[in-house]
Amino acid sequence: MQHEWDAIVVGGGPAGLSAALLLGRARRRVLLCDSGEHRNDRAVAMHGFLTRDGIPPGELRRLAREELRAYPGVQVADRRVLEAACAEAGFTVRLEGEEAPLHSRRLLLATGMVDELPDLPGLDVLWGRTVWHCPYCDGYERRDQPLAVYGEGRLGVKMALEVRSWSHDLVLCTGGSRIEAKDRRRLAELGIGLREERVVALEQEAGELRALRFADGSLLPRRGLFLAAPQRQRCELAERLGCQRTRKGMIRAGHDGSTEVPGLYVAGDASPHVQLAIVAAAQGSMAAFALNAELLREDLHAERRPLAAAPD
């Protein structure tokens, strides 16, 4: 593996793959690092991705990697990035299984988020099949069916109001927490049910959700469940490099993915924008465009030759 790169992209999801593609087409030397951990690994299908609606996430990544092979400047390393540090004229990056550090003129983080799932017996079997985190991704397939939302406080209320667009047969389950009176009234006005008892298990049959079981033994028959779960960054590289976070815990960045750390960009779910795969891919392209524009200015400046003095 070569040790000098124009850009190292950390993360092999839609954002990172899209960035690598655009940079490859700009004839840059690009290393795409993929740890093999992806937020949507458990999802059966991706939705809302133009021309690829319903494709399994792994198949999208496979097709994208095939396209990258057409660009000799792009290399993929299926390894985790252990460390990254600011260095003269760029960054040093150390990969798992590599002793010598790599040097890159620019660094793009597309590492994504991790959903902090509640401790619900039965969730592991159902996660990504009939329990999800995004109604835009999975609500249409369960439209007009009996659905539930699981989440505490305002997070749960907000999710319930969103899911109401896909089904009017909807119940918010708070897992034992109480919600404010004004939220209780709003849910009632919209016909959204409310169960504030503790949920002790998710009942399933052949990998399909059938009901939520409460502490008193009662069952709530449902065909799908959306989780209003907190999130965290998948890796801490951005903070170690000096980035700041927003109030929502996202990496503070400009519309083009640029951060306050010179030469460092972010894209995808780790940036403070809408969390959809197609949006992540677009953000990867935007960050790659801005990153390459910086490199181009540097390269053009370095290649400038002083004009010969005009003859008398």
Nearest to 108 by CA among 277, 276, 267: 267
* Overall average pLDDT of the 48-73 stretch: 97
Q: Is 62 exposed, middle or buried (0-12, 13-18, 19+ CB in 10 A)?
A: exposed
CB 267 within 8 A of CB 251: no
- Strand, coil or helix: 286: helix
Contact at 8 Å (CB) between 11 and 36? no
Sheet holding 219-221, edge to edge: 199-205, 208-214, 219-221
Write the pLDDT tens digit of every residue in 170-206. 999 999 999 999 999 999 999 999 999 999 999 999 9
CA distance 228 to 55: 24
Look at residue 265 and tell me whether its pLDDT is greater than 60: yes
235: pLDDT strictly greater than 80: no
Beta strands 102-109 and 264-266 are: parallel
Give residue 273's pLDDT band: very low, low, confident or very high (50, 70, 90): low
Pick the CATH number of 117-227 from 2.40.50.100, 3.40.50.720, 3.50.50.60, 3.20.20.140: 3.50.50.60
Query: For residue 219, what pLDDT is reported?
Result: 98
Question: Distance between CA atoms of 298 and 158, rounded to whole angstroms?
Answer: 46
Alpha carbons 198 and 23: distance in angstroms, whole number? 50
Q: What is the pTM of this model?
A: 0.91
Task: Report the distance separating Cα 115 and Cα 113, nearest Å.
Answer: 7
| Average pLDDT, integer, range 274-287 | 93
Q: Where are the alpha helices (DSSP H) in the chain?
A: 14-25, 57-68, 123-126, 135-138, 153-163, 181-189, 237-240, 277-303
For the stretch 71-84, pLDDT in tens is 999 999 999 999 99
CATH level 3 topology of 4-114+232-303: FAD/NAD(P)-binding domain (3.50.50)
Half-sphere exposure of 29 (CA within 13 A, CB side): 10
The CATH 3.50.50.60 domain(s) of the chain lie at: 4-114+232-303, 117-227
